[in-house]
Chains A and B, each alone.
Chain A
Amino acid sequence: MPTLLRVELAKLLRAKSFYLSFAALSGFVALMLWGFYTYAARKTGGAAVEQFRYTYESKQYFNGLTFALYSTLFAFTLLLPIFVAATAGAQVAGEARAGTLRVICSRPVSRVSILAAKFLVSGAHTFLLLAFFIALNLAAGLVFVGWGDLELYPGPLNLVDEPGRIARADALWRFGYAALTGTWALLVLAALATFFSVVSDTPVVAIVSALALYLALYVVGRVEFFEHLRPYFFTHDMDFWRDVFKPDVPWQSLWHRAFRCGAYTTGLLLASAVVFDRKDITT
């Protein structure tokens, strides 16, 4: 298994898409910085503190931690899933497309081990992406906006029902926790992409299928017509990762949805393993 992991890791590090994902996230942070400043300038004539005078009476509201929180929450929903699905969806189907899957499977290791190694590498990539993105946002926030306590208000982001505050040191820990909970949530999508990667012989089909299902459920889950179906969508449970940013973390709900995400992930991996084990590889 360690050898398999080393091989898969080497493949990941050699792929241009690996570095492209970090470059794209860096570009998004620059875009967020631009958006943050121009929004405040447009709305307030440059007096951002004045704009936030009521909800955000504290002059510390508009700070680097707030910036990092907004940026992370926005990217998590629609940007990070693309890279996670791209990496995981290409794991098996990419080998099939390149004609190397048969060779890999002819080695004296079980197919489930191969699949596990590929998924673990996808998981590592997911964690690196999220940790890098959060760290970059915090650094950009510190340099360009300045730090203070993390203040949360009802409304945008829908994180809290009443105003709350997290002290700076605690908030930094919360971002650390978010790297872990966010990775755990995104593993559901990685497992879904892995499943499609096993079923399909072309990585594009696997990636698009996983993203299409994710986006379809995400969008449908936001439409009130389907409000009663929402709890049955994995996208609903994936949202648990944000709970670490609530002043009083709802631990029971967090664990409940984290375990549900784990069930989706392991269930999809089990299905992938069964299909992959029986797959007739002709390429």
Chain B
Amino acid sequence: MNIQPDDIEALIFDFHEGNLSALEKSELLNFIHLYPEYEKDFALWAQSYVPTNNSIDEYGLTKFLLHESTKPWYKKPLTYLGAPLLLALFLSLSVAVFNTPNKQNEPIYTKPKETINIAHQVSESKKIETPIIKISRSSKSQNYTKKTPKILTIKDTVEITKTTSASIIENDTLNSKNVVIDNTEVSTTKTSTKKRKLNFSISPSGSFIPTNPNF
């Protein structure tokens, strides 16, 4: 290789860049050895490279740039642990709820429960005599002897006295207009008033003597 002084810079550059073959490298080094004035240039070209070390400065961006992968729910291990736990919790709660005594239909006692003798009350109620029902109107009275359930519509003063051989005392429903009597023991008097319409005309009788001269 014939080295010219004009090409020396390019050759030195290529030498440091690693673009020359081994033969070209040796020829260049021989040329510089022959002409020491190029040694300084050769050294300066060698220093034109940025000195680097393998360690890279940490700029603190890694944690900001990373993207957390969002796994689907069925791939998360806690799902398989959490689902049975939730199911067990639900079952235990439902068992606890349905095992509690139902107090919805229990009577509310004003006295202590132990002081009430229900059997005594029932035995006393059996002592009531047979029913006598009297319905007295203005001029008519009627006895109801049927034992089948009846609905009585009370329009006037109605006196009901009934004594049957019933065994259970029902609630007193006589305060309402409809009274259901079905094997019950009732002895009470119901009085109700209803407006009645009179269907007669008003005219003076024959013995009426008008005192008003203008009449």
A binds B: no
